[in-house]
Amino acid sequence: MATWILVNNIQVGTDRLIAGSLIDDAQEDATAIRNAGGLLITSSNVPVAAAAALAQAAKLRGDDPAACAAIMQAGLETSQESEVTTPVTNATALAAITAANRSNGMEAVKLDDYTPWIFSSTSAEAASDWCIVPAAGTGRWLRSDQTRGVVRTAVANAAALIALTAVNRKDGTLVVKLDDMTVWSYDLGSVLTTDTWHIEPTDGVGCWFRIDVADGRVLPSVANNAGLIALTAIQRQDGSIVVQLDTMLAWMYDLGSAEAASDWCVLPTDAVGRWLRLDQVSMKKTHLPVADAAAVSAITAPNLVAGMIVCKLDDNTLWTYSATSAEAASSTCLAAAGGVGRWLFAGARWGVPMTNRIRLLNATVKIAQADFLTIGGIVYEFRDDTPPTGGTAGRVWIYNGANAAASRVNFIDAINGVVDATRINYNGVVKPLFVAAAGVTAGDVIIQSATAAGGTPCPSATATACTDNITTVTDIWDSATCYGGVLPVAPMAEGVTVTLTAAHIAKGNVQFNFTFAPRLAYVWNRNRAQNEAWVVIGNSVSLTCAGAGSPNNQAADVVDCLAIS
């Protein structure tokens, strides 16, 4: 059975009077009582219950209703003061609240950290960060905004975390360390000692574990490469990740790696395991940007990996490393350190291999012994025996085979660097950078500049001399030197539009000027078919304007010129 106090508002004239009465609810259901109107308060509220008893007695004595109301008003105010007190400055002020001014369930707010507290008259808990013992009397002030002991007030730094005493930590307690905003959890049973991810309390009981990252996997960032190298074995573990702030590169520690130091691999001070660049693990295709062409060429092994790319900052161009290329240096080809391989412009490149053709007809007759062909100073001499022997020293000896077709095949293979001692003896001669193949016309052999002997055709402007000493007069080169070769260049295109004037016509030409020397140029007249010639001169295209009538160019005609590098 519940006992309730019904506090009614009674209007008497202009005054609102308050009276109270005790009501028993056999059904323990206050609905009907609330419907009667007024404020319903349980009789366990001591100040209100006492006031109600006094008011009832006064009413029975016939006292003035205003006096009864004053008694109830005082009881209500006392009740409210006992439930919520004025906010206090700090823990000292909270502890100083006297027994007369506190009651069970009373709440308070501590203004130094805005934490809420509730008074328990029966608690005898030890003082801690979650429990404040009153200066006098029994009971305890308990922190009420969290499951006590699980989440505690943040600490300034590691020293403050270490200093937390046993009473201020519990198994599973969480705390934030403000100097780096990391989150830590206390493990009462741990015997680990202090390192990057663990902090041991002063008393050595239990251990604080860092839990905002997978344990030991993500480390605080380091300032530079030296900071990365200096991380000790206790600070790192297999799979640890760290960011290097001067380059913003991420590194992962591989305990089992013994890779050589490079731009993608850093050795710790103790040389145990390796720090590997996380964005390039097992790939190593992107080098850090470098200042200019000299810096590109200065990249040394083991930082040179076939297919890798580097950005040249002076013009923001990309270059890729070819370990096999021996292309001549040009605007789109840079030498590599040690002379092995080449750095090639990674964008589109315009260039043409140099070419020549020799006609080896000679019906069905093989090329005669001691006849020879010369390509850029390398002499290919034909011999009757297999393996070929007895030729002139310093020449490549080629078995001439049974007929002209066999002579051609063996010659092509010799150009392409094929190793077959029964047919070809290179005699230590360095193979020229050409590739050979049968031509479109029967009996023809085509040679082109290549990345290596028998390799991929590549642009070259070198006019390599080609001569022959073949018995049959029809077996001759197309040209005394290779032809058609153009060094690779980055393609460029620019357009200029000019409206012709009488001055252009009087001068006899108009010139279109560009930032590069055009390799090709196209000119067209918007007003009539272009009838006059143009020529490339340096960085300009000069268009003839001879005058006279149409279809020659006329004053006021609009003429466009497109130049291509």
User: How confident is the model at residue 93, as a pLDDT?
Assistant: 92
User: How confident is the model at residue 78, as a pLDDT?
Assistant: 63
Choice between 315 and 133, residue whose per-residue pLDDT is larger = 133
User: How confident is the model at residue 44, as a pLDDT?
Assistant: 56
Mean pLDDT of 116-130: 87
Place of tokens 């008259």: 121
Q: How confident is the model at residue 101 (pLDDT cuts 50, 70, 90)?
A: confident
* Res. 18: pLDDT tops 50: no
Burial 536-548 (b: 16+ CB within 10 A, else e): beeebbbbbbeee
- In this structure, are residues 23 and 42 in contact, taking their beta carbons and an 8 Å threshold? no
Q: Are strands 396-399 and 378-383 parallel, antiparallel or unpaired?
A: parallel
Length of the chain equals 565
User: How confident is the model at residue 29, as a pLDDT?
Assistant: 46
Asked, as a colleague might, if the bond just before 116 is cis with ω within 30 of 0, I would say no
Mean pLDDT of the chain: 81
Q: Could you give the CA distance from residue 284 to residue 280 in angstroms, rounded to a whole number? A: 5
CA distances to 75, 168, 187, 217, 484 from 208, in Å: 50, 13, 6, 16, 75
* Res. 544: pLDDT tops 70: yes
* Res. 234: pLDDT tops 70: yes
Please state, as a whole number, how many other Cβ atoms lie within 10 Å of the Cβ of residue 335.
16
Q: Of 33-47, 320-334, 390-404, where does the model show the most confidence?
A: 390-404
* Res. 17: pLDDT tops 60: no
Q: Could you give the CA distance from residue 5 to residue 38 in angstroms, rounded to a whole number? A: 10
Q: Could you give the CA distance from residue 456 to residue 433 in angstroms, rounded to a whole number? A: 10
User: How confident is the model at residue 5, as a pLDDT?
Assistant: 54
User: How confident is the model at residue 86, as a pLDDT?
Assistant: 63
User: How confident is the model at residue 188, as a pLDDT?
Assistant: 86
Torsion of CA 259, 263, 268, 271, to 10 degrees: 30
Q: Convert the pLDDT of each residue in 177-191 to its tens digit.
A: 888 888 888 888 888
* Res. 374: pLDDT tops 80: yes
Burial bucket for residue 314 (CB in 10 Å: 0-12, 13-18, 19+): exposed
Choice between 9 and 412, residue whose per-residue pLDDT is larger = 412
* Res. 76: pLDDT tops 70: no
Q: Could you give the CA distance from residue 33 to residue 12 in angstroms, rounded to a whole number? A: 23
User: How confident is the model at residue 22, as a pLDDT?
Assistant: 42
Choice between 84 and 154, residue whose per-residue pLDDT is larger = 154
Q: Convert the pLDDT of each residue in 479-517 to its tens digit.
A: 899 988 877 766 778 889 999 999 999 999 999 998 888
Q: Which of 42-51, 188-197, 274-283 has the lowest mean pLDDT?
A: 42-51
Please state, as a whole number, how many other Cβ atoms lie within 10 Å of the Cβ of residue 522.
14
* Res. 293: pLDDT tops 80: yes
Q: How confident is the model at residue 45 (pLDDT cuts 50, 70, 90)?
A: low
Q: How confident is the model at residue 43 (pLDDT cuts 50, 70, 90)?
A: low
User: How confident is the model at residue 280, as a pLDDT?
Assistant: 59
This prediction's pTM: 0.40
User: How confident is the model at residue 349, as a pLDDT?
Assistant: 67
Mean pLDDT of 418-430: 94
User: How confident is the model at residue 28, as a pLDDT?
Assistant: 42
108 forms beta bridges with 117
* Res. 12: pLDDT tops 50: no
Q: Of 108-117, 174-183, 391-400, where does the model show the most confidence?
A: 391-400
User: How confident is the model at residue 114, as a pLDDT?
Assistant: 82
* Res. 9: pLDDT tops 50: no
User: How confident is the model at residue 58, as a pLDDT?
Assistant: 74
Q: Convert the pLDDT of each residue in 50-65 to its tens digit.
A: 777 777 777 777 777 7
Q: Convert the pLDDT of each residue in 436-481 to its tens digit.
A: 998 888 788 999 999 889 998 888 877 899 998 888 766 788 889 9
User: How confident is the model at residue 426, as a pLDDT?
Assistant: 95
Tokens of 108: 């308070």
